[in-house]
Amino acid sequence: MQSSSADQVQGNTRMSEQGCLFIVATPIGNYKDITTRATEILQSVDAVICEEYREGSTLLKKLGIKNELILLNEHNEETQSPEIVALLEQGQSLALISDCGTPVFADPGHLLLRIVVQAGIPIVPVPGPSSIMAALSVCHFPMEQFLFGGFLPRNKKERCQELQRMRKANLPVVLMDTPYRMAALMRDVASVFGSKRQVVLACDLTLPSEHIYRGTTGAVLKQVENQKREFVLIIK
C-alpha cells in the first residue's frame, strides 16, 4: 500500500489515528464527469474498495492513479467487510466505489457500512454522478414526490405484482434494471399501467449513445423492443 493519508484533511473529516471510509461517486459513462475532490481522494487513500476489479482498475488508469484495489461485491461482502473494518481500525483510510455512479444505493456495501457505523469509524460521502438524479433532471413532468422501485424481481409474476402495488401509490415511479431486461420491463409496465401511460426512458446517460425517450409506454416500447441498454425508467 502507498503511504498513509493520515495527516490529510478531506471535507470536514480529519484522518488521524483512526481511519475513514469515503463513499465516492464515480462517472456513469463519461469519465470527464469525475469531480476534482473524488480524484484527490482516490489518489490519497490507502486503498480503493471496488465492486469488480476490471471496472475499478479501468477507472484508476483513466485518472492516472496507481492504488491498491480491494474487491467487495455480493459474493464476498460478508467475509470481506470485517477485514476492511480491521484496516480502518488500524488507521488506514479507504474509498468505496461501485462500478459506476453513487455507491451503496443500489449496489453492494450496506453490510460494510453497518459494521463501520457500529465500530464508530467516520464515513464521508463524496457526491457526484448518479444515473437516477441525471434522469430526474430531464424529466418533463412534476417530480416533487416519487416512488423509487429500484430493481424489481426477475420473475415476471412477482415483477408484475410489485408494479401493481406501486401503481396504487398514485405517484411517479422510478425503476432500474439490467440492460437485457429493459424491453421485458417495459412490456410489464405497459400491461400494468396501461399502454397510454406517459414515461421517460433515459438510456446510456452521458455516453455518445445517450437517448431520452418520451411518450406513452406503448410508443416507447415500440422504439426499444429489441434493444439492450443501461437505463432509468420514470413512469408518470
Q: Which domains are present in the chain?
A: 9-126 (3.40.1010.10), 131-235 (3.30.950.10)
Quick one: cell of 189?
409496465
Mean pLDDT (the chain) is 91
- The yes-or-no verdict on residue 1 having pLDDT over 50 is no
Average pLDDT for 27-46: 96
Quick one: cell of 49?
474498495
- The H or E element spanning position 232 is strand 231-235
Average pLDDT for 100-124: 90
CA–CA dist 170, 90 (Å, integer) = 49
Residue type, 109: G
**Using one digit for the tens of pLDDT, what is the confidence trace for 67-95?**
999 999 888 999 999 999 999 999 999 99
pLDDT-derived band at 17 (thresholds 50, 70, 90) equals: low
pLDDT at 109: 84
Whole-model pTM?
0.85
DSSP calls for 2-70: PPP-TT-EETTEE-SSS--EEEE-B-SS-GGG--HHHHHHHHHSSEEEES-HHHHHHHHHHHT----EE
